Structures are given as C-alpha cells and as structure tokens.
Amino acid sequence: MFRREYLAPKSVKTRVASSFLLVALLVIAAAFQCMQPKFLTLNNVMNLLGTSSIIGILALGNMILMAAGEMSFAIGAQCTMCGAIFGRFLFSAESNNMLLALLLTTAVSAAVGLLLALCTVKIGVPTFVCTLAVATIMDGCSQLINSGTTLYSSDWPKNFQIMNVRVGGVVPVAFIVFAALALLVHIIYEKTSFGRHLFSVGSNPTAADNCGISVPWMRVTAFVLSSVFMGFGGMVAASYNNSVSLTMGSELMLPAIAATVLSATFMQIGKYNVPGVVISAILMIVIQNGVISAGYPIYVKDIVQGILLTVAVAMIAIIKEDGLPTVKLES
C-alpha cells in the first residue's frame, strides 16, 4: 500500500501539507529572529538543538511504541526514575563508574518495559491505564530515590555533565547522541523487516497476524525498546541539566507525545517517522525558547504550540480520509 503511494505522483495539496512542519519551523525561527536578533546566533542554535534532543530521544522511544499501536502514559515517570537512578548511583565519590551506572539504568528501564509488556500483552490489561498505574508506582520510586527533592551532588564525576559538553566548542554531545539514535531508529524502522513488521502490527494487527507476524512478540519488543529509550532520555536529561528534579519527566511527556504525533504529518503522511520526530522536537523547543527570549509571557508558548499542533493535524485530516493513526481506548 505504501509502495504504491510512493510511486504515484503526489498532488500539490499533499506536497504542501507534508512539508508544512519544515515551513513552520523556518517561518517561526525567522519571526523570532526579527523580534530578538540574538535568536539565531550559533550559540543559541546549538543550545536549542541540545535542549531539543531530550524531548527528541523520548519522542523516538514513544514513536516506537505508538508505531506498534500502543500508547504510554508512563513516559515522564520513566524518564524521571531512570535519571534519578543514574544520579543516585553516582551520588557518592566512591561510586563513580559512569559505564556501570549506564548499564544499570538501562537494565532497569528494560525491566520496566518487560513489566509493562507482562501486564498488557500477557495478562491483557488495557495499555493506557496500565501505564498510568505503573507511572504512579514509578513516581513513588523517584520520590524515594530523590528523598523528595531535586537530586544534585557535588561528588558527581566530572564526566557527569558530558551531554552539556560542546564537541569542538560547537555541537553539544546531547545532540550528537540524539542524531545517532535517530539515525539508528530510522534505519531499523524504514529499512529492516523488523521495522516494517512493527508498523504493520500497529496499523493492522489482524492482517499482520495473518501474514505470520507474531503480534504479541512485536508488542513486547516495542515496549522494551521504547522503555530503554525513556531510560536513555532520563540519563541525558540528568546529565544535561546537571540535576534530577521530580517533575523533570512529567514536564517532558506532553511535548514528547506531541512531537510523535506531529511526525505523522511530515513527509510520509499518516505514518510516524523519524525525520518528522526530529523536526517537531526542534520546533517545540524553538517555540519555547523563542517566546522566552523575545520576552513574551510563557502562556504564549502554550497557545502557539497548541495552535500549531491543531493546524498541522487538521490539514492532514482534511486532505486524507484515513489520515492519522489513532489509539482506540479500551476499558
């Protein structure tokens, strides 16, 4: 079905709609540049890219899950908890092995993914509410690990802030990590049979099952993979901010979901895709940073982001009949 769409010449309307996100990014960035001449300096652009990589990594993980037709409410809690575990492990001067901390946090996040998969795929609890419950438990864990406040230690190893380091004094490491992960996910998602199976499970589970794809297995993999990404996002955020606050993840959750949803309006309409995730993650941060640096009150950011999201998806919904993938709510 998608093969045919690629070959068929795209109509003008579709072309315009599918590049809306990029145009919006350029227009909005230019507008902020007019209001605040320092907006597009190299330093600030790199700052933007660095900040957007946290949302971007979370959105990549969320994309894997949403591509498989599931939706998680636990993104934020997972991100906070993994950041907290990472920070707590390195808390004292004696334990300063970053690699070990990375492995431990990744293992924990994979275990969370397995737990979610056990509850939803094996037992059959509806995903949305199951992730809600697990998110509450994980919030408790973060509270416990953080002792109820923002986690910070002066004994953290020097490399703790590695994500904030600029390679060659220009590009923040966080963005390089994000770009590498994005490339990896892009290749897996678009070029391998695994990625195609993932997409087919999400778009039509019955057909996928009839084709001999193991739907439960794909869902389990999606849960574990996306959880690992959330864990990674948490670690990058902890390192980038040089602290772990209790609301770190919950503030990032809605932008991450929004970035995933927006990605389905870019280039390949109706299919979540990695280039779309990258562009929308940057777009969300450009709006946030631009509104603040131009001196507007913060609510302008919310309204602009909301209008942008609505307009982008409305355009797609009007052009295409079955334009956007949806999530069915079960009880």
Partner 1 sequence: MEMKRMSSASFLSKYWLLLFTVGVILAFGAISPEFLSLTNLTNILSGAGIHGVMAIGLTCIFATGELDFSAGSQVSLACCLIAVLISKTSMNNYFLGILIVVAAMIGIGCYNSFLHVKIGIPAFIATLGSNYIFGGLAKAATNSQNIYNLSMASEVFTFLGQGYLFGVIPMPLVVLVIVAAVILFYTEYIRAGKYLYSVGSNPKACEYVGIDARSQKLMAFVISTVCCGLAGILEGSQMNQASPTYGANMFVPALTAVFLGATFGRIGVFNVPGTIVGAILYAVVNRGLLMITSELWLKYWIQGSMLLAALIIVVLIKKKDGN
Which residues contribute to the site for partner 1 (CB under 8 A)? 71, 119, 123-126, 128-130, 132-141, 143-144, 148, 254, 257-258, 261, 297-303, 305-307, 309-310, 313-314, 317-318, 321, 323-329, 331
Q: Tokens 């001449």 identify what position?
A: 37
Q: Which helix (H) or strand (E) holds 31?
A: helix 20-35
Spatial separation of the C-alpha atoms in residues 78 and 76, rounded to whole Å: 5
Query: In the structure encoding, which two tokens stand for residue 267, read together?
Result: 């280039």
* Residues 6 or more apart whose Cβ sits within 8 Å of residue 259: 55, 56, 59, 277, 280, 281, 283, 284
Nearer to partner 1, 275 or 325 (CB): 325
CB of 165 to partner 1, least distance (A): 33
Q: Is the dihedral of CA 132, 310, 306, 51 positive or negative?
A: positive
Report the Cα 320 to chain-centroid distance in Å. 25
Minimum distance of partner 1 from residue 130's CB (angstroms) = 6
Indicate the residue among 102 and 129 with the shorter CB distance to partner 1. 129
Q: Provide the minimum distance between the beta carbon of 11 and partner 1 in the complex, in angstroms, as a whole number.
A: 18
Please provide residue 126's backbone torsions phi and psi, each rounded to the nearest 5 degrees: -55, 135
Instruction: Identify residue 192 by its one-letter amino acid code.
Output: T
Q: How many CB atoms lie within 10 A of CB 42?
A: 9
In the complex, what is the shortest distance from the CB of residue 128 to partner 1, in angstroms, rounded to a whole number? Answer: 8
Q: How far is the CB of 100 from partner 1 (least distance, A)?
A: 25
Q: Least distance in Å: CB of 121 to partner 1?
A: 12
Cβ–Cβ < 8 Å for 315, 265: yes
